[in-house]
Amino acid sequence: MNDTPITTKYPILLVHGLFGFDRIGTFDMFHGIVTALENAGCRVHVPVLSSTHDNETRGEQLLEQIDRFMNRTGYLKANLIGHSQGALTARYAAAVRPDRVASVTSVCGPNHGSEVADWVRRALTPGALPERQAARLIRGFSYFLSLLGGTTDLPRDPVRALDALTTNGVEQFNRRYPQGLPDEWGGEGPERVDGVNYYSWSGCLRDTLLDEGQNAFDPLHLALRSYALLFEREAEHNDGLVGRYSSHLGKVIRSDYPLDHMDAINQTAGWVRSDIDPVQLYVDHAGLLFRKGL
């Protein structure tokens, strides 16, 4: 590892996705990542957003927090790194206020939708009892997380969150905010649009549990492997929630790291494969932003 300080021109904001939070007690969502980036020389902030809501609502919340952070610190722009739905949230902020955003990096972002969200939406008849029951359960769970994280004042809407992550929902979102998207499936998008740099990286499940090391004992990993069975279009190439090519945005750093969807934020609490260090991926990416003058 290079010991040269990585002092990016603009601060890095880590944007959480569905059911996300900044910190609950001593447990942080981006496990070990904030500390590693700060130790490398970066200024880092984790905005607190609605744990369940649509991309635009969360995007407006992000813009408000960017403005407050900028007014407090004097910075003119921010580098946004969004995990999962956080990538769509960051894309909205960059599209609406490119003057406030230096770069957007999508980490396992469903930039063309999630096949798992499609399956859940098909299983829930709109307006019928199953949907209402599921919404009630999800709303209660997100409220519980918000209560622990001290963010109960933020709105939550699990049904709108689900719709915003389906292939159809993201397709509509992409028509309004196409910045950084590839022209063809599986390709790369433009690296720079409206003065904002766009990047993406993501992972794929390995073939068998025997390839996973201690990750094979992580309950979240086992759950993601079960979700992977719901994929059709990207059945062989997904992280358990998002397909490899669905994650592509802007300059693709790599989309087949040996990571599941939660490994990408070093969860559960660092239980990841021994041959990959997700924390170092963030530090390396900060180095890229530094070299780009961002």
Question: Is 84 an annotated catalytic residue?
Answer: yes
Active site residue 274: no
Q: What are the CA-CA distances from residue 67 to residues 22, 70, 78, 92, 197 (Å)? A: 18, 5, 10, 15, 19
Residue 222 to residues 50, 215, 279, Cα–Cα distance (Å) = 26, 9, 21
CA nearest neighbour of 165 among 63, 86, 227, 239: 86
* Catalytic residue flag (residue 261): yes
Q: Which of 53, 248, 261, 285 is catalytic?
A: 261
CA–CA dist 19, 27 (Å, integer): 14
Bridge partners (DSSP) listed for residue 127: none
Are 227 and 116 a contacting pair, CB within 8 Å? yes
Which is catalytic among the residues 16, 31, 83, 84?
A: 84
Contact 78, 10 (CB under 8 A): yes
User: Distances in Å between the alpha carbon of 267 and those of 111, 206, 215?
Assistant: 22, 17, 10
> Which among 218, 239, 260, 263 is annotated as catalytic?
239
Residue 158, burial from CB neighbour count under 10 angstroms (0-12, 13-18, 19+): buried
Mapped onto helix, strand or coil, the DSSP state of residue 164 is helix
Residue positions annotated with a catalytic role:
84, 239, 261
